[in-house]
A and B are shown apart, each in its own frame.
Chain A
């Protein structure tokens, strides 16, 4: 009999030792216990804002080459003057045309230290505000062998304001998720840190405009570098010029606090 009592006592003790620990006590004691366990959640809030582009900066490259540097520079100047004159005829003011980067490269032959020729390149940025103006720029590339198409960047008014708006709305989205967790899980989340992942900008061009650009970029004299902004065509776009997408991401880390 004593043996059975001993076995039963042993089994009871063993079973108790295997059981899950039970948390007992007053709410403040339980809260104190839970404080010792580090619990946190990180929420990634994202926002994407599509803004109609009101202008685009088209980059053209004027490339001239001559045996003399001075001649190459003069030819390049002539090309730029022709560009400005041609654009002016088509209603684009000279103030919308800016020479932004300049470079000259001596070219050497197999023998000798003296350059065989000089290549002068000048990047010209033209601000266009409609498809008609863009077509006028495109026509220059077709008409002038010294002019190469470099790329296009769409832009919207109040760029910084849109960026701020995207970030603010990304934070709001993270906050929305936080409130959802608090409500569903009966917890309180306190923000511990916030990290802004930056705002990425992407330009989307509308269908009609894309077709024009495609024809341009497939022309034989186009620069070998791909156009930097050639996004997927959007046939449903409301306007025929293009749009800018602002994508913001924020990462908010919350710690769990007992209510």
Chain B
């Protein structure tokens, strides 16, 4: 009796294993290129690209996993010239479908649109959509928010219902597409009704980062930077805009300390500030999702 009852579960488990195996095999003939913007000015900006490429390499799903950049070495054009796999998936590690990820880079590489494929014998190149616009980024944001209050309770972690979640992005008035992924995430997380409220704030467009204190009606605020790298914007600009003194931020930075202390009370509100979404370990899954979408 017990044996027959278990059989359907065993069968499902076997199917799942087969599918996993099939998906693993599917990419054994493929190369994955994790593409970042990169800059020669800040060596930390490349870190998330190396981090996720290393993790995906460790999983052994692809014949090859490479890091590539637009503005620093190894350049994407160099990397693509070296690869000979049957399929080459290029996943832009960008937060939005803005000028670089959705226009400049694909156009310069010869892609007609995003996503699209390019026949370059013996390989077929797949230019995937940037990771930032994937709906799974919701999990990444929520994990970041949860992690920071869990790690720094005061004196115990606040209930989500007493917290306003704020997603901080770059934004630019030059490109309306830049803020779209953040607005989408605000909509998705608001729909879950787990937080008291959810807001988007930006460096270069309204509402601005400094407005968090007037936007949030709760005493507790968790700010998650929707950036790929923990660079100048997230380490210096946002903490200053959140109200920490520039001099204090610079002193902490020089001492190799986090530039924001969790939580910090300012204007009568407790503010937790998480690391960028770009270095979240969950992002490796989002990269794989983008590959699966392109392959299907």
Residues of A within 8 A of B154 (CB): 39-41, 256
Task: For B252, give the chain A residue with the smallest CB separation.
Answer: A195
Cα distance A37–B151 when bound, in Å?
9
Query: Is residue A249 contacting chain B, with contact meaning CB distance below 8 A?
Result: yes
Task: For B154, give the chain A residue with the smallest CB separation.
Answer: A41
Residues of B within 8 A of A177 (CB): 265
Q: In the complex where A44-B266, A251-B261, A251-B264 touch, is A37 in contact with B153 (Cβ < 8 A)?
A: yes
Verify A195–B245 contact, CB threshold 8 A: yes
Task: For B240, give the chain A residue with the smallest CB separation.
Answer: A197
Our pick among A43, A185, A198, A253 for the contact of B155 (Cβ within 8 Å) is A185
Task: For B242, give the chain A residue with the smallest CB separation.
Answer: A44
Distance from B245 Cβ to chain A, minimum over Cβ atoms (Å): 2
Distance from B178 Cβ to chain A, minimum over Cβ atoms (Å): 30
Residues of A within 8 A of B23 (CB): none
Cα distance A253–B258 when bound, in Å?
13
Verify B247–A42 contact, CB threshold 8 A: no
Our pick among A39, A187, A197 for the contact of B247 (Cβ within 8 Å) is A197
Distance from B202 Cβ to chain A, minimum over Cβ atoms (Å): 22
Cα distance A253–B246 when bound, in Å?
16
- Residues in B246-279 with C-beta less than 8 Å from chain A: 246-248, 251-252, 261-266, 270
Cα distance A187–B156 when bound, in Å?
11
Verify B245–A253 contact, CB threshold 8 A: no
Verify B245–A198 contact, CB threshold 8 A: yes
Q: In the complex where A41-B154, A185-B155 touch, is A197 in contact with B261 (Cβ < 8 A)?
A: no
Query: Is residue A235 contacting chain B, with contact meaning CB distance below 8 A?
Result: no
Cα distance A41–B155 when bound, in Å?
9
Query: Is residue A29 contacting chain B, with contact meaning CB distance below 8 A?
Result: no
Verify A187–B155 contact, CB threshold 8 A: yes
Query: Is residue B152 contacting chain A, with contact meaning CB distance below 8 A?
Result: yes
Q: In the complex where A40-B261, A42-B263, A177-B265 touch, is A197 in contact with B248 (Cβ < 8 A)?
A: yes
Residues of A within 8 A of B207 (CB): none
Verify A196–B247 contact, CB threshold 8 A: yes
Verify B264–A42 contact, CB threshold 8 A: yes
- Residues in A161-199 with C-beta less than 8 Å from chain B: 177, 185, 187, 195-198
- Give the total of B residues in contact with A, Cβ under 8 Å: 19
Verify A39–B153 contact, CB threshold 8 A: yes
Verify A197–B153 contact, CB threshold 8 A: no
Query: Is residue B244 contacting chain A, with contact meaning CB distance below 8 A?
Result: yes
Q: In the complex where A41-B263, A41-B265 touch, is A197 in contact with B152 (Cβ < 8 A)?
A: no
Query: Is residue B243 contacting chain A, with contact meaning CB distance below 8 A?
Result: yes
Task: For B268, give the chain A residue with the smallest CB separation.
Answer: A177
Distance from A126 Cβ to chain B, minimum over Cβ atoms (Å): 32
Residues of B within 8 A of A187 (CB): 155
- Residues in B151-177 with C-beta less than 8 Å from chain A: 152-155
Verify B246–A197 contact, CB threshold 8 A: yes
Task: For A195, give the chain B residue with the smallest CB separation.
Answer: B248
Verify B263–A44 contact, CB threshold 8 A: no
Residues of B within 8 A of A198 (CB): 245-247
Q: In the complex where A195-B245, A195-B251 touch, is A44 in contact with B265 (Cβ < 8 A)?
A: yes
Verify B263–A251 contact, CB threshold 8 A: no
Verify A41–B245 contact, CB threshold 8 A: no
Give a binary string over A11-55; 1 marks a CB under 8 Å from any B CB, 0 the rest. Answer: 000000000000000000000000001111111100000000000
Our pick among B152, B244, B246, B262 for the contact of A44 (Cβ within 8 Å) is B244
Verify B243–A44 contact, CB threshold 8 A: yes
Cα distance A56–B262 when bound, in Å?
42
Cα distance A22–B27 when bound, in Å?
47
Verify B248–A41 contact, CB threshold 8 A: no
Distance from A254 Cβ to chain B, minimum over Cβ atoms (Å): 9
Residues of B within 8 A of A256 (CB): 154-155
The 6 A-B pairs at the shortest CB distance, nearest first, are namely A197-B245, A42-B261, A42-B264, A195-B248, A44-B266, A43-B265
Would you mind naming 9 contact pairs between A and B with Cβ atoms under 8 Å apart?
Answer: A38-B152, A39-B152, A40-B152, A41-B263, A44-B243, A187-B155, A195-B252, A198-B245, A198-B246
Q: A37-B153, A41-B265, A196-B247 given. 19 additional CB < 8 A pairs?
A: A39-B152, A39-B153, A39-B154, A40-B154, A41-B270, A42-B264, A42-B265, A44-B244, A44-B264, A44-B266, A185-B155, A187-B155, A195-B245, A195-B252, A198-B246, A249-B248, A251-B245, A251-B261, A256-B154
Interface residues of A (CB under 8 A from B): 37-44, 177, 185, 187, 195-198, 249, 251, 253, 256
Interface residues of B (CB under 8 A from A): 152-155, 243-248, 251-252, 261-266, 270
